[in-house]
Amino acid sequence: MIIIPGPASRDLGERVASEMGAEAHAIDHRIFPDGESYIRLTDPVEGETVAIVQTTAPDPDRKLMNLFLMARTAHDLGAERIICVAPYLAYTRQDKRFLEGEALSLDVVFGILEASGVDDLVVVDAHNKSSLRRIEADHDIEVHNLSAIPLLADNLLRSGFEGAYSLSPDKGAIHLAESAAKILGGGVGFFEKTRDRTTGEIEMKVADLDIEGQNAVVFDDIISSGGTMARAVEGLKSHGASKVATACTHALFMEGARERVSGAGADTIVISDSVQSEAEAVRVSIAPLLARMLMELTSAKLTTR
């Protein structure tokens, strides 16, 4: 297998290769003065299984474009199988038309990945599992959705959050809290969250929880503006929670988000390395998770030959 860390995931791609005892293959990547990307695969890929590790945030449009360029080039150069490892796949949150006339971004992204010759797509904590199943059924791409939540919970277990309450910011994400609670061993709950589709304003109500004096962790797939986590932390603190941690897979941390979450009273912020970020937080690597998946995919392929 040829492992290619894309420009957005150099460190993560190298960690994945090292977990597998494999070499990370460098590519030539530049940005032209007009803003276009230049991509050149420098090692031969003909007849090989190629795993491209490229997350797609921040700057999702460029990072997706780079992913399409790498995949399509590997396909054109005769790669036998192309596995895109995009831990954070941008545009998955726009999986339906919430307002009439909206673009179905998730469908557009999948259409281009398929046309670029991608066989397998590995993502982590995809925003909406059922949309992913729908889109997978419509395209010739096998999707492997992994979860970083057990890794994040395991880290919290070892840093004083054993027995803490596991919460999700809304009912739809309760599976994240449930999966964490198996490790932390405390109760499970969720918030009632509503977001104004036009203004983006978030309102969160704490469900009926007896949290007073207990430690709690809010698990989410994404922190973007930090508004959701900040409201959740404030809610827990106002209900008398003791220590409150936030744990999320994709720390997009847009302008001021990290400060918003800690300013709301979060005692610990745990994130994965699915996207590159300089933000101050406890970082847990998903490289072992991705490496295990790639090894499974490769051996599955060998046994079916």
Using CB under 6 A as the criterion, which residues of the chain lie in contact with ligand R5P when the complex forms? 169, 173, 202, 220-228
Least Å from the CB of residue 205 to ligand R5P: 15
Kindly compute the dihedral angle of the four CA atoms of residues 244, 225, 196, 189, in this order, to the nearest 10 degrees: -20
Which residue among the candidates 193, 237, 243, 301 is catalytic per the annotation? 193
CB of 111 to ligand R5P, least distance (A): 23
- Decide whether 7 or 227 has the Cβ nearer to ligand R5P: 227
Contact 54, 85 (CB under 8 A): yes
CA separation for the pair 269, 243 (Å, rounded): 11
Q: Which is nearer to ligand R5P, 68 or 219 (CB)?
A: 219
Query: SS3 for 262?
Result: helix
Do the Cβ atoms of 220 and 204 come closer than 8 Å? no
Q: How far is the CB of 176 from ligand R5P (least distance, A)?
A: 9
Q: CB of 37: closest distance to ligand R5P in angstroms?
A: 26
Q: Answer yes or no: 182 catalytic.
A: no
User: For residues 122 and 98, what is the distance between their CA atoms, to the nearest angstrom?
Assistant: 26
Q: Which is nearer to ligand R5P, 174 or 202 (CB)?
A: 202
In sequence order, what are the beta bridge partners of 3? 24, 51
The neighbour count for residue 22, using CB atoms within 10 Å, is 16
Please tell me the distance from the alpha carbon of residue 18 to that of residue 267, in angstroms, as a whole number. Answer: 33
Copy the structure tokens of residue 299: 């051996």
- Closer CB to ligand R5P, residue 79 or residue 232? 232
Positions annotated as catalytic residues are 193
